[in-house]
Chain A
């Protein structure tokens, strides 16, 4: 089995897994970075959203060999030093999560949106956030939280 070297949240990890192993399993089951969640495994739900070189990506469909060449991987654990990214703060202020299972994916997607587009319109938010599903139905609060984060910060 090959060994891969991954750059995740400012650390370097070595991991030995079969070629083709989805990054999601590596993060969760091998590296204990369980904040990123599994829900569909086929790039449909966005629950596993992380950042690769600053862009949102779905870890469930990223084979490990594609992200082990110096790419910068960021997971929810590395989004901020002490859970104080403006998006995270807005999430608490708007009391967004219900069960919470989808929320790492939502927050990573939202952080990526505001980085690209610090002042998105409602329609832009809805469109950008649509790849990430929430069964508990927290969308209205997600929308408000993103608006709040975009108002209160210069990202």
Chain B
């Protein structure tokens, strides 16, 4: 049936094998990532292509003609790690960027991990918008080490003091004698210093000397994403590969009873049924066969914790929880909001709500796993945000040691937090174990992905503010009610608003619905609540929303600078077209950003149109300015999509949506005319940018709506019905 299938997965050596087998020389990578022993570079004959790339360190290889391969330790899901991290390395190595190629590093966290997530332990994660920040010191130091080895080798060769050598654009230079050697030319003379000095911050380049960082550098993997050649896990094809799907239903946690096992097993191509606690797995020879069999399944589902749960009715109980006297878990407390309330001349209270949202990463979840015939090792092809430290749960399922599991990271067709969960990899491992040694491709259909999604939780936020007789906000309390702890509570703190008395608390709820980090996590709902509340106060006090924030940010100059800048580029004080209004919103999520949008509202349909969006961002040192702007554009679009359109609803525990027809995303017809970003100059270390724009959007739109109509939008998404209800209120 399959005509001329060939193996597409990466061929040849994994780097691990390569290091073991090179030239028969005993090679060993120390924890520092340095090779104590170099390859004998004269002996290139008969060595495969990979072996023509010579190790400088574990991070970089060079061919004799000067082609440089730098290893990227982070997942690439469109955020630009495939460029930003190698660029930092190349900057310190003084590599000629036009000769640089980038490959994923092996999944070996002892060498390629960063301590940026958990100090003291090296991890490889791609979460929380912290890749660039976490790897900034790692990549720079590693690049500087490579440069040191190259300089040292040249100095030895020329018999000159190391201190007299310098580097530029892939060359070592001895100014005194006028000698120069390209990095490639140095390959036969590479020599590891006896004592590798510890590279410290002062050995690294100063910001003013950067040649690559902060410049316009096209992303390395973009060409492959314009001709269909970029490989995602779902594209992997292997000889003898079989296909697996699971039917999980749409009542999370329910247990299936299969009623027509015999009928299913008799279907064309069906090879196996694999039971799961929460699903029925089917394996067949082809994708079309396995999907056909899935359609025929007759399953009786048990009840689950979620049975009886109705998402749109739960807010009433959340309001009751918010009204109870007993506080929940305190997330931040400063001064006394009670005292502030007692001496207030005005008090404000408002509830803000948000429905469940779904990740909708365009590449459905999938994995390919091949377990060896003896069950003692496995190869995994996957797009994952999760580092390799747990080998994605595969070793536990197979009962083998982690080093027996080889993870081949592929490009991710979107992550947004969903691919930091391993459920889909574990399912594939369970099935691959049964099917060994056949490789198994497990695919979640879009219906599976929606119905058994892991959503950003719904929540309710009750905000209370106290204002004194001079118009200052003296107390601000924020009570979050919802399931998932950090998933609902992140972003509820105000670290950049100078309000003397503050309280942030979380009160829990539990519904048996699967939940997960969704781009910016709790920041979306919480920043919406905080920023809307500020504008409601400003509106009542007859204050300009920017002026109000200017006062609050007086002690936070970096945040204030983003506010001033965005007010300037959006012409905040200037006239606005008839029927339009602007709204402002501030977010801190690693980087600091203030956004302004301009909207209009169709009074008949209730449709909100966003015309422009402006952002001023302080992200510290910006490694790739154009990419940061792309992240702002994408973040705003995803924010608009979630705020204006997206809604998962649950009735009697069952997810009501199943695919894009009833979970629509924003399309091109609804984009703003422009999204403009200004990056504020900074010499602070880089901060994450992937999740700063998205949580700005709800507040900015609601605030523009308040200015335009005098009405409030306090429940996301702002569907037409909710907008019309607000207009008619």
Contact = CB atoms under 8 A, between A and B. Distances in A.
Contact of A102 (B6, B362, B415): B362
Interface in B203-230: 218-219, 221-230
B78 A98 contact: yes
Contacts of A44: 659-661
Interface in B599-650: 626-627, 630, 633-638, 641
Contact of B412 (A39, A77, A99): A99
Contacts of B229: 35, 83
A103 B268 contact: no
B235 interface: yes
Contact of A16 (B1, B78, B360, B411): B1
B289 to A, nearest CB: 7
Interface in A72-115: 75-77, 79-80, 83, 88, 91-92, 95-104, 107
A37 B79 CA distance: 20
A42 B1 contact: no
Nearest to A31: B3
Contact of A107 (B226, B414, B633, B674): B226
Contact of B665 (A16, A35, A95, A135): A135
Interface string B273-306: 0000000000000111100100000000000000
Contacts of B668: 125-126, 129-130, 132, 139, 142-143
Contact of B237 (A15, A29, A95): A29
Contacts of B445: 41
B225 A95 contact: no
Interface string B567-580: 00000000000000
Contacts of A133: 362, 660, 665, 667
Interface residues of A, number: 66
Interface string A1-31: 1000000000001111110011001001111
B645 to A, nearest CB: 11
Contacts of A36: 228
A131 B665 CA distance: 11
Interface in B539-576: none
Given A103-B225, A135-B414, A137-B636, A40 B230 contact: no
Interface string A115-155: 00000000001110111111111111111000000000000
B414 A13 contact: no
Contacts of A91: 222, 226
Contacts of A37: 232, 234, 362-363, 413
A77 B3 contact: no
A69 B363 CA distance: 31
Nearest to A26: B288
A45 interface: yes
B33 interface: no
Contacts of B288: 17-18, 21-22, 25
B630 A141 contact: yes
Given A95-B630, A126-B671, A134 B362 contact: yes
Interface string A38-67: 111110110100000000000000000000
B691 to A, nearest CB: 13
Interface string B1-45: 111011010000000000000000000000000000000000000
A48 to B, nearest CB: 11
B630 A143 contact: no
Contacts of B346: none
Contact of A41 (B243, B289, B446, B626): B446
B364 interface: yes
Nearest to B693: A137
Given A39-B362, A138-B633, A101 B3 contact: no
Contacts of A126: 668-669, 671
Contact of B228 (A18, A38, A77): A77
Contacts of A136: 78, 362, 414, 634, 638
Contacts of A97: 78, 222, 225-226
A103 B661 contact: no
A15 B672 CA distance: 45
B633 A140 contact: yes
Nearest to A103: B225
Contacts of A13: 3
B362 A45 contact: yes
Contact of A45 (B243, B289, B660, B666): B660
A104 B229 CA distance: 10
B660 A17 contact: no
Contacts of A130: 667-669
Nearest to B661: A44
Given A32-B8, A41-B446, A140-B674, A83 B669 contact: no
B675 interface: yes
Contact of B232 (A1, A22, A101, A140): A101
B634 A98 contact: yes
Given A39-B446, A45-B660, A32 B669 contact: no
- A36, A75, A132, A135, most chain B CB atoms within 10 A: A135
A95 B362 contact: no
A136 B253 CA distance: 30
B77 interface: yes
Contact of B1 (A1, A79, A83, A134): A1
Nearest to A46: B667
Interface in B73-93: 77-79
A136 B694 CA distance: 11
Contacts of B3: 13-15, 30-31
B361 interface: yes
B268 A18 contact: yes
Nearest to A142: B668
Contacts of B219: 95
Contacts of B667: 130-131, 133
Contacts of A137: 633-638, 641, 666
B1 to A, nearest CB: 5
Contacts of A129: 668
B1 A30 contact: yes
A34 B235 CA distance: 6
B633 A141 contact: yes
A98 B235 contact: no
Given A31-B3, A100-B78, A137-B637, A77 B286 contact: no
A77 B675 contact: no
B226 A88 contact: yes
Nearest to A45: B660
B630 A98 contact: yes
A130 B222 CA distance: 22
Contacts of B360: 135
Nearest to A47: B362
Given A100-B411, A129-B668, A139-B668, A42 B659 contact: yes
25 contacts: A15-B1, A15-B3, A17-B288, A21-B288, A25-B288, A34-B235, A36-B228, A38-B364, A39-B446, A45-B660, A83-B227, A88-B226, A92-B226, A97-B222, A98-B78, A99-B77, A99-B363, A99-B415, A100-B230, A101-B414, A133-B667, A135-B638, A137-B633, A137-B638, A138-B637
Interface of B: 1-3, 5-6, 8, 77-79, 218-219, 221-232, 234-235, 237, 243, 268, 286-289, 292, 360-364, 411-416, 445-446, 626-627, 630, 633-638, 641, 659-661, 665-669, 671-672, 674-675
Given A101-B414, A139-B668, 14 more contacts: A13-B3, A29-B243, A32-B237, A34-B231, A35-B229, A40-B660, A42-B660, A47-B362, A98-B630, A99-B414, A103-B226, A126-B671, A137-B633, A141-B633
Interface of A: 1, 13-18, 21-22, 25, 28-42, 44-45, 47, 75-77, 79-80, 83, 88, 91-92, 95-104, 107, 125-127, 129-143
Lowest 8 CB-CB distances: which A-B pairs, in order? A35-B228, A137-B637, A98-B78, A101-B413, A100-B225, A99-B78, A137-B634, A76-B228
